[in-house]
Amino acid sequence: MSVLAPRARLMAAIVPVLALTGTGLLVQPATAAPARPTSTISDVDVVAHRGSSGAAPENTLAAVRLALRQRADVVENDIQRTADGELVIVHDTTLTRTTDVEQVFPGRAPWNVGDFTLAEIKQLDAGSWFDPAFAGERVPTLREWVEAIGGRAGMLLEPKAPALYPGIDIELDKELRSMPAFRSALMRDDVVVQSFDHEWLHGYKDLAPDVPVGLLFGTRPTSAQVTEAATWAEQVNPALGVSEQATIDQVHQAGMEIHVWTVNTGQDMRRAARWGVDGIITNYPQVLRDIVGH
């Protein structure tokens, strides 16, 4: 997992002079040197989406451990905050889909993550919904998650719905920097914080300028969005379904990396790899690992 901050800054100065075609895509002059080397399938990062979530309950330590055994290059997560200010790894803003919260706390609807303390959340079974073999898996804290990865993979961190948790940018920065495993990963360029909330992410980048960030997109990023992102971000990470070769080329021309999500079939993995993406985010890292090798 490589972070391209120096090149992004350089390309930010170059991008404004690129010509615009009638399709609105950025293109370089014919005499310009390639923006980045041509990648091969073996260059693609295997990014385990919520851990190895196709074979283990998402965002649990079991999913992290399995992703590491499957030689994922990067493990992705989702971060939210408890009622008592602890950062935990949960995707949904409620606990109903991935835990037994309705049985343990029947009178606490709508069971929002932010309405429960860490001690209460630690009582929940976060594994049985996926398979009885994972009964007793707990919702991990951010610290537990980071320490489980250690130096064995990169970290792709996604604060989920950060607008629900005022001040989470400051708390996230403080918590991460208190962990040796995070500090070491940051020195190795093995950490990225991403979000769909670009305004929030920009504020986080101002707070933590040394931490690489990635902009998530559920729609195809426009030329203007890519150009603007290149002035402060290191990655643009769209859904595979809204991406095409021109999208990847445009992001690379702007000096950034592109990681597509969530890619779960071999056919789609090969297609994304042929396009030259830097990383593929998948629930099945073992399948992607077999495809990319190395």
Active-site position among 91, 202, 259, 294: 91
Cα–Cα distances in angstroms (integers) from residue 272 to residues 72, 159, 215, 228, 236, in the given order: 17, 25, 18, 24, 15
Whole-angstrom distance, CA of residue 262 vs CA of residue 108: 32
Collapsing DSSP to helix, strand or coil, 280 comes out as strand
Whole-angstrom distance, CA of residue 50 vs CA of residue 44: 18
Catalytic (active site) residue 91: yes
Whole-angstrom distance, CA of residue 177 vs CA of residue 186: 9
103 touches 138 (CB < 8 A): no
Quickly tell me which residue has 């398979």 as its tokens. Answer: 131
209 touches 234 (CB < 8 A): no
Find the distance separating the first CA and the last CA of the chain, reported in whole Å. 14
- Known catalytic residues? 49, 91
